[in-house]
Amino acid sequence: MAAYNKILATAAAVVLLALMVASAGTTTEAAVTCGTVASSINPCLDYLKGSVAAVPGACCSGIKSLNAAASTTPDRQTACECLKSAASSISGINYGLAAGLPGKCGVSIPYKISPSTDCNQVK
């Protein structure tokens, strides 16, 4: 009887572990944070304010890194919301330069960087 209980307990532990592993892969929370976005775009601020004429290399590196990190819909929506928030809270941002920045860095994003972008529509 003791052996049977031990087998049953082991089987229950295996099932519980399998459920935990399966549920860990189905999370829909975004891995991208506003901190990630801020550190990625920080090297771009002088360009976005018109202080420098050319896009700095560190800026494009940050944009490419952010684009790679935003691999899911929740990540892209979070990045969008963070970009909107940053754009509206930093004075002197040229929105035309902001909208064209991904293209200047060789990156394609599925939305326009603008305070009017509806991030819920980003897929």
**Confidence at residue 101, expressed as pLDDT on a 0 to 100 scale:** 93
Residue 6: per-residue pLDDT:
37
41, part of any domain: yes
In a domain, 80, yes or no: yes
Q: What is the CATH number of the domain that holds 115?
A: 1.10.110.10
Q: Report the number of distinct structural domains present in the chain.
A: 1
The whole-number average pLDDT for the span 35-53 is 95
| Mean pLDDT confidence for 37-44 | 95
Q: What percent of the chain has pLDDT over 90?
A: 58
User: Phi/psi zone of residue 55: left (φ > 0), alpha (ψ -120 to 50 degrees), beta?
Assistant: beta
Element spanning 81, H or E: helix 73-89
Q: Chain-centre distance of CA 94, in angstroms?
A: 22
What pLDDT is stored for residue 59 in this prediction?
Answer: 98
99-120, pLDDT tens digit by residue? 999 999 999 987 777 788 899 9
